[in-house]
Amino acid sequence: MAKLEILEFPDPRLRQEAQPVESVNDELRSLIDDMFETMYEAPGVGLAATQVNVHQRIVVIDVSEDQSEPLVFINPEVEVLDEEIHQYDEGCLSVPGFYETVERPRRVRVKALDREGEAFAMEAEGLLAVCIQHELDHLNGKLFVDYISPLKRNRIRSKLEKAQRKRA
């Protein structure tokens, strides 16, 4: 397994829309393992392939306290089950060090393929529902900063660009 580089906002590659996975094979499962390793080490609770510059519709999530509930979503599709809106302070591995309140539907159903290529569906609410919606946004080229005011988004962009220049 290998730790992957996580792209950081405002990298334009984060805006690229991910393409459907054509086949689930050992190469793809190896990528999924690398994504989990990267996510856990970061540390985070979700990672979309787009964030590691792989533009395929793959998401890994584990919202457990002890990293014991890894979930894989290949070619995920989400359906809102409850119009009730939930506010949650979201952060992102691609927007390190920043958290903002985002409003999202409280309950969703997601249909996807698992790491073996088997179709499944599940309902989620709370943190898992937020995480699923957040990661699926990445697959569509959207970031949580798109839900906040332009002023806040530009302030975050400036701070991250400054930090990236210092590291370079």
Query: What are the binding residues for Fe cation?
Result: 92, 134, 138
- Give the single-character DSSP code of 56: B
Q: Which residues form the catalytic set?
A: 135
Q: What phi-psi label fits residue 16: left (phi over 0), alpha (psi between -120 and 50 degrees) or beta?
A: beta
Peptide bond preceding 12 in cis form (omega within 30 of 0): no
Give CA–CA dist 72/46, Å, rounded. 10
Q: Which residues pair with 67 in a beta bridge?
A: none
How far is CA 159 from each of CA 7, 138, 163, rounded to the nearest angstrom? 15, 21, 6
